[in-house]
Every structure is written in C-alpha cells, then in structure tokens.
Amino acid sequence: MGKLFILKESPWVRNDMLSILKLSREGDAVLFVQNAVFVLDNAPEDFAKEMENKKSLGVKLYALKADLDARGIKTNLEVVDFHSL
C-alpha cells in the first residue's frame, strides 16, 4: 500500500511542495487541497515537469473539487470530492 501526500500550502512555498512531490514513489498518491491548488493553474516549469515524471512512474495525482471550484481553477489532474476520497 502506498502513501498519501496531502499538499495544502500555497505555491509561494513551492520549494516544500516540490520536495514533497519528489518523495512520492510508484503506488503513492498526491492530493492537492486548499491553496495548493493554485500551483495547478500555472505551475512553474520544474514543478510541472516533476508532476509529469511522477505520473509516468505510477504516482496518482488528485485535486480536491471544492478547492478548485472555490478558486476558479481548472486542471487535467483527476478531480475528487469528499465522497470519492
């Protein structure tokens, strides 16, 4: 069973977010909630590349629907709600 990493800080604390993303491995999942969803709107190049790399390695990337909707952000990640968690 993999680990679930929950990112909730704003992308202005991006170095922490990138470090946590790099820790994820095949079978793990990363969930973007609260202000962390802002990074999905216009991700810095290094962060976007790491997300693509992790997806190709079998890391599942999710974003919480309520937080995306509240901030008017669209994403190509799998969108989940509280019921599907």
- Could you give all domains of the chain from N- to C-terminal order, each with its CATH number? 4-80 (3.40.1260.10)
Q: What is the pLDDT of residue 80?
A: 97
More confident site: 54 or 16: 54
Q: What is the pLDDT of residue 14?
A: 56
* Mean pLDDT of the 43-69 span: 95
Confidence check: pLDDT of 13 > 70: no
- Give the Å distances, CA to CA, from 71 to 35, 65, 75, 77, 82: 9, 10, 12, 16, 17
Q: What is the pTM of this model?
A: 0.91
CB 75 within 8 A of CB 37: yes
Tokens of 75: 């994403």
* Mean pLDDT of the 13-39 span: 90
More confident site: 52 or 1: 52
